Amino acid sequence: DAKTTQPTSMDCAEGRAANLPCNHSTISGNEYVYWYRQIHSQGPQYIIHGLKNNETNEMASLIITEDRKSSTLILPHATLRDTAVYYCIVRVASNQGGKLIFGQGTELSVKP
């Protein structure tokens, strides 16, 4: 079972920041937080991941609380193309590859 809890859906106005929350209260010390998104009729796409510190890349920022029990994915200037299902995943550390266990995700609708 997925170890994360996300809202089922969210709306965001085009050009505004989209803040997607995720709860992972049972996360272990060696588990990373990953975010993927899935645009309709496409395969999931990696966005960002982090362990303890906040992370930023060209797509998004990831804010992880100090106790690591929750995180927020921030899309700073949402566009219509950001409409997708966003998955927050806690990934087990393994030398043979940590399994990605997807939950239901958050369906983000960016509106004009």
Interacting residue ranges for another protein, rule: CB under 8 A:
2, 32, 41-46, 49, 85, 87, 91, 93-105
Give burial (CB, 10 Å; 0-12/13-18/19+) of 66: exposed
Minimum separation from the CB atom of position 16 to another protein (A): 26
Q: Are 9 and 104 in contact (CB under 8 A)?
A: no
Residue 90 or residue 110: which is nearer to another protein going by CB? Answer: 90
CB closer to another protein, 2 vs 74: 2
What is the nearest approach in angstroms of another protein to the Cβ of residue 22?
Answer: 13
Cβ distance to another protein smaller for residue 97 or 112: 97
Sheet holding 106-111, edge to edge: 9-13, 106-111, 84-91, 32-38, 45-50
